[in-house]
Amino acid sequence: MSPVARPALPPIDNETPALRRAWHAVTTAESVTDAPLQVWLLGEPWVLVRLDGEVRAFVDRCPHRLAPLSVGRVCDGVLQCGYHGWTFAADGTCTSMPPIGATDHLPARADLTPAWGVQEAYGLVWIAPEEPLCPPPDFPEWGADGFDCIRTTFVRTPVSAAQLVDNFLDASHFPYVHEGTFGDPKAAEVHDDGIERDGWVVRTMFSTWYRNYDDPLVATGEHEAVQPQDLLKEGSASFTVYLRLGFPVTGKTLAILFCCSPERNGSTHVLKLVARDDSYGSEEMIAKTIVDEDLILAEDLRVLEAYTEMVLHLDLRAEVHTKADRLSVAWRRLLADVVGLADEQVATELPEVGVPDPAVTTTG
């Protein structure tokens, strides 16, 4: 098949419709109860509520007068609009219109618009507004034997979700942005083990350096503070990144799931989860992890929040790229394919798009 020519794509932001075909972490599982909760995703309000013991998600809009359902309540196991009392079953079907009394016919237009999918994973609630191109990210260390599972402080920022993911996939900024935490000048030169694209996922392994003050033998002088690390980074057709740091000196692992919920332009909810096997249940170490990870994110935001545009360019000619940016470039090309699919209104098969990068291995 010949490559498909496309015009240059515009930048993406937190309201780019093509990202409806992805899983997004929007809030914590315990925050969703039988009291309707409003969340925003891709510029649209959604209502989350537990019905029949399961989390349900609907566009936060009653079909009658478009009132937010999040100001309603659960009554006798159904969701009731707080404006005129219309009620809706767990699948979104309208079950009654009290102001007009009993009726034998309730029009389909009175039903709610549900998300394609809703699920709970890693203590978070995930929404896919439309059928997603790939499954939710895997986080194998979460709940695994020997690993402590830690939530950092969840924050909101005006930075777009795409910019945050692009930053998290990058490894060349460590010595400069994170010089106050783990960054070291030895990490300035970046090498990867080759970029792999597997369907709607891109990944690579970096061999780099890390200032590891969590190693107790650094304080005793038995180990150097700056240690090698094997760094796996994996991005997909979503705004979530899986990261795994392996430390050859200590034999320990720290893994992160970095979830960026694109609420609307000007607001991204960052939900970062950490799993590590060197804290041994220590409350002090867990508390230190939260402080450290919050500080690392703050270092990134100091740069990212200074941008004048909260967008990510898919037209690769808009910026200058180097070989250190190969993972970021591969992820942007993946997003370009997502946007291209939406524009072309084709099925979920991965098309041949553009000229493949000889440095990127494609599988799947």
Q: What is the pLDDT of residues 248-300, one digit of tens each?
A: 999 999 999 999 999 999 999 999 999 999 999 999 999 999 999 999 999 99
Nearest to 155 by CA among 242, 270, 28, 258: 270
Closest CA to 58 of 46, 45, 44: 46
Percent of the chain past pLDDT 90, that is, above it, reads 75
Same domain, 166 and 53: no
Query: How many domains are contained in the chain?
Result: 2
Query: Same structural domain for residues 240 and 270?
Result: yes
| Residue 303 forms part of a structural domain | yes
Half-sphere exposure of 67 (CA within 13 A, CB side): 15
Residue 102's pLDDT is 65
Instruction: Convert the pLDDT of each residue in 62-77 to its tens digit.
Output: 999 999 999 999 999 9
pLDDT at 347 over 50: no
Please name which of 59, 26, 39 lies closest in space to residue 259, comparing C-alpha atoms: 26
d(CA 102, CA 100): 7
Domain of 260 in residue numbering reads as: 148-344
Q: Is residue 134 part of a domain?
A: no
pTM, entire model: 0.90
Q: Model confidence over 186-219: pLDDT tens digits? A: 888 888 899 999 999 999 999 888 888 888 888 8
Query: So what's the pLDDT on residue 70?
Result: 97
Residue 16 resides in a domain: no
Residues 67 and 185 in one domain: no
